[in-house]
Structure 1
């Protein structure tokens, strides 16, 4: 049997995202956030291309982005309840990290693999925040797919997109466990 990191396995088997609406301050400061970002940056990255980057949204940026979500929602004809929900993700959360998918030209690594790597960074960031004792949730929503919001609000270039927005803070209540996938229904074993 290989050496087993039981603590890490136990964490992964019991991990649970914390709903963003239950997060409050304090949020990790820059010193506390650095090891979380470092852990996320250790995600699989075929070709060592680093086809992703981070934007850390501190409190002032969160309010500005909530306002932009409001104006963009009206311009796009989003229903008022969807605008309010998208705004609350920014107004209610004390801090968020945007994982930007930023594929680079490569003759060996297809764009889709680079996008998957950005998704792996999102999960690693979420798990690192949770393992560090913070509450965290991976969200996106309609605004994260709006080019105007991406360019004006986040400064993204045309080839970049949001892989995920990880909200991090202090949890106010532990969420109940939810049903998990039935492994027998989603697993196929192939031996020949």
Structure 2
């Protein structure tokens, strides 16, 4: 998370990470090839943890890694074949920071956004958070319109209204991120406050 924050601010960490010396493009390519992409949620997490530091650091374009990675993308824009579409969507979500940092075009982004819109929303957990992030990413890049996403974000708002405030820290983190995405969708603080002020009921 710290590296992602630095990346958004266009800053570099003050000192190199020693563990990153062996994580290069060859390592990431082999890791991607060795993983089981019939379980894309778990496999994408492994790639996310290994690749995030080096890709966000901006060393090289990692074209071969992206080529291998995209070989496992499904026609619906998610990752992995013959798997649950929620898992395919989550696999794609885990790679959004890579494409943003590398300035690369995310393949089949419109298909991925439409996959998200076809999926049911399950509470205020990380699955819903992932879906929101994908749609916001797609909207930023013109792959889908705000009007097409309006119903989805309204439904998320209604889900949040009905759900009690999570007690576990893990669930609370997802809840707060969902609120942040709702605010981002609303556009600014004034729009957020006019849209759903009572949702922000954190102590």
Question: TM above 0.5, one fold?
Answer: no
Higher relative strand content: 1
TM-score band w.r.t. shorter chain: under 0.3
Higher relative helix content: 2
Q: Structure 2-normalised TM-score?
A: 0.24
